[in-house]
Amino acid sequence: MLGITGSIAAYKGAEVARRLMDLGAEVHATLTRGGAQFISPTTLRSLTGNPVTVDMFADPQEWQVKHVSLARRAAAVVVAPASANAIAKLALGLADEFIYAVALATRAPLVVAPAMNDWMYQHPATRQNLETLRTRGAAIVEPETGRLASGAIGQGRLAAPEAIAAAVVAAAVPGDLRGVRVLVTAGPTREPLDAVRYISNRSSGRMGYALAAAAAARGASVVLVTGPTALSAPADCEVVAVTTAQEMRDKVAARLDKCDVLIAAAAVADYAPEQVSRGKMKKSGESLTVTLAPTPDILAECGARKRPGQLLVGFAAETEDVLANARAKLKAKNLDLIVANDVSRPGIGFDAADNAGWLLYADGREVEIPRTSKAELAAKVLDAVVELRRGREGCAGG
């Protein structure tokens, strides 16, 4: 939950939102009346894909539900930039605008990034209000020293968006994968037919990228092997770009023994043309027959090579008999966990922002996941990975 208040640095709130989204977060933004003087709700709505609240009394019935529901869902409440007025209201527990009501109603960590004139920042009232927030557990991202809106040089400039995003991660995300080496595959593969044409699928790579970003945020050392996508590389991940199924197989095989967890979210082509034309095939007006040959079964190879203690997580994108097919894949490929989803359903799966499905464990447990964002599904998958690792460590220790 991102609150943008009445500071000239309000425009940087959009960049804070973007940095958080790059880390896999779902961002809900709200503007105070002062914040709305500097940046428009339309900008934030277009960026985050979620409604933006300015006047919490515009629809009182909706507010009564919304401020509580968002407060309960939030992994963190972030006020950036936080003006001197905003800091005072947070310290006093006032709730005359939406972000302050959320801050009172939540149990999530609070991150405050001040931005104001340097004299205002150094004023005893502001210093005392910040200390009050600190004693309550809030994380304060100190402003930078530099040229301010007044033209003076002093401390009061909003911290860099990446520093704010890092503070949010530190406050909100468990470090339960710290030191764990995670290998993630993502995106589609492209199997060339000639110099300009290829066979591929509808995968956008969003699920794999969300998993990589979330694992890195939880402290893991992440390698992302990705097919062609239009996505920005997640922060703090080593990115290995590939095109074909064979290239993905080679890159994964070279890194498998060095990883503790493999999460195979890529939509790898099952078949590739046997013959590839060096140039562009010319249209002749006659039928064209293409013979396809099977591509390497990357996940099956990894399952056969799995070493003790290593976890393998797969995905089963199905259009019929979803659970039966996923159970068969889980067993056949020696996986510890598989995420099954019905990609024939509109609005989830391939090239969509949301997903839904089931987590199927090798021990027979099956957990249904209702429709949710891919970032939230990534968090649930990693929760399951942490649980499985702890279970194994407990057995080893016993």
Q: Where are the beta strands (DSSP E) in 200-320?
A: 221-226, 237-241, 261-264, 271-273, 292-294, 311-318
Query: How confident is the model at residue 325, as a pLDDT?
Result: 97
Top pLDDT among 65 and 212 is at: 212
Instruction: Tell me the β-bridge partners of 238.
Output: 223
- In single-letter form, the type of residue at position 192 comes to P
**How confident is the model over 282-301, as a mean pLDDT?**
94
The H or E element containing residue 301 is helix 298-305
DSSP β-ladder status, 153-157 and 144-147: antiparallel
Question: Of 217, 229, 240, 263, which Cα lies nearest the Cα of 20?
Answer: 217
The residues that are catalytic are 201
- H helices of 52-150, in order, are 60-73, 84-92, 98-105, 118-122, 124-135
Q: Using 50, 70 and 90 to split pLDDT, how confident is the model at 65?
A: low
Count Cβ atoms below 10 Å from residue 361 Cβ, excluding itself.
Answer: 16
Q: Which of 148-152, 209-213, 275-279, 391-395 has the lowest mean pLDDT?
A: 391-395
User: Which of residues 172, 199, 228 is at a domain's end?
Assistant: 172
Give Cα separations from 6 to 1, 28, 85, 119, 313 (angstroms).
17, 18, 8, 17, 46
pLDDT above 70 covers a percentage of the chain that reads 96
- Whether the per-residue pLDDT at 249 is higher than 80: the answer is yes
CA–CA dist 380, 211 (Å, integer): 10
pTM of the model: 0.71
Question: Within this chain, do residues 228 and 249 fall inside the same structural domain, yes or no?
Answer: yes
Three-state DSSP state, 272: strand
- In single-letter form, the type of residue at position 160 comes to A
CA–CA dist 378, 382 (Å, integer): 6
305-353 pLDDT tens trace: 999 999 999 999 999 999 999 999 999 999 999 999 998 888 887 878 7
CA–CA dist 115, 145 (Å, integer): 11
Question: Within this chain, do residues 207 and 121 fall inside the same structural domain, yes or no?
Answer: no
Question: Within this chain, do residues 215 and 140 fall inside the same structural domain, yes or no?
Answer: no
Q: Enter the DSSP assignment of 83.
A: -
Query: How confident is the model at residue 14, as a pLDDT?
Result: 95
Question: Within this chain, do residues 90 and 233 fall inside the same structural domain, yes or no?
Answer: no
Structure tokens at 398: 């016993």
CB 80 within 8 Å of CB 16: yes
Structure tokens at 293: 């040959």
Q: Using 50, 70 and 90 to split pLDDT, how confident is the model at 398?
A: very low
User: Which of residues 116, 138, 172 is at a domain's end?
Assistant: 172
Query: How confident is the model at residue 135, as a pLDDT?
Result: 94
CB 26 within 8 Å of CB 17: no
Query: How confident is the model at residue 291, as a pLDDT?
Result: 96
Radius of gyration for the alpha carbons in the chain, expressed in angstroms and rounded: 24
- Whether the per-residue pLDDT at 66 is higher than 80: the answer is no
Three-state DSSP state, 215: helix
CA–CA dist 259, 305 (Å, integer): 12
Question: Within this chain, do residues 166 and 185 fall inside the same structural domain, yes or no?
Answer: no
Question: Within this chain, do residues 276 and 328 fall inside the same structural domain, yes or no?
Answer: yes
Structure tokens at 248: 């993905």
Three-state DSSP state, 5: coil
Question: Within this chain, do residues 63 and 165 fall inside the same structural domain, yes or no?
Answer: yes
Question: Within this chain, do residues 226 and 195 fall inside the same structural domain, yes or no?
Answer: yes
Q: Which domain holds residue 241?
A: 181-280+287-397
93-121 pLDDT tens trace: 999 999 999 999 999 999 999 999 999 99
Query: How confident is the model at residue 136, as a pLDDT?
Result: 95
- Whether the per-residue pLDDT at 180 is higher than 90: the answer is yes
Question: Of 367, 309, 376, 373, which Cα lies nearest the Cα of 338?
Answer: 367
- Assign residue 273 the CATH number of its domain: 3.40.50.10300
- Whether the per-residue pLDDT at 160 is higher than 70: the answer is yes
Q: Which long-range contacts (CB under 8 A, 24 or more apart) does 56-59 make?
A: 56/97, 56/98, 56/101
- Whether the per-residue pLDDT at 296 is higher than 80: the answer is yes
Longest CA–CA span in the chain (Å) reads 83
- Per-residue b or e along 1-20, where b marks 16 or more CB atoms closer than 10 Å to that residue's CB: bbbbbbbbbbebbbbbbbbb
Classify residue 369 by burial, with Cβ atoms within 10 Å: 0-12, 13-18, 19+.
middle
Question: Within this chain, do residues 127 and 197 fall inside the same structural domain, yes or no?
Answer: no
- Assign residue 121 the CATH number of its domain: 3.40.50.1950
User: Which of residues 172, 192, 212 is at a domain's end?
Assistant: 172
Give Cα separations from 171 to 91, 160, 167, 217, 286 (angstroms).
19, 17, 6, 11, 63
Top pLDDT among 223 and 283 is at: 223
Question: Within this chain, do residues 201 and 234 fall inside the same structural domain, yes or no?
Answer: yes
- Per-residue b or e along 22-42, where b marks 16 or more CB atoms closer than 10 Å to that residue's CB: bbbbbbbbbbbebbbebbebe
Question: Within this chain, do residues 291 and 214 fall inside the same structural domain, yes or no?
Answer: yes
CA 76 to the chain's CA centroid: 14
User: Structurally, how many domains does the chain consist of?
Assistant: 2
**How confident is the model over 113-131, as a mean pLDDT?**
96
Q: How many CA atoms lie within 13 A of 383 on its CB side?
A: 10
Question: Within this chain, do residues 252 and 145 fall inside the same structural domain, yes or no?
Answer: no
Q: Average pLDDT of the chain?
A: 92
Residues in the chain, how many?
Answer: 398
End-to-end C-alpha distance for the chain, whole angstroms? 42
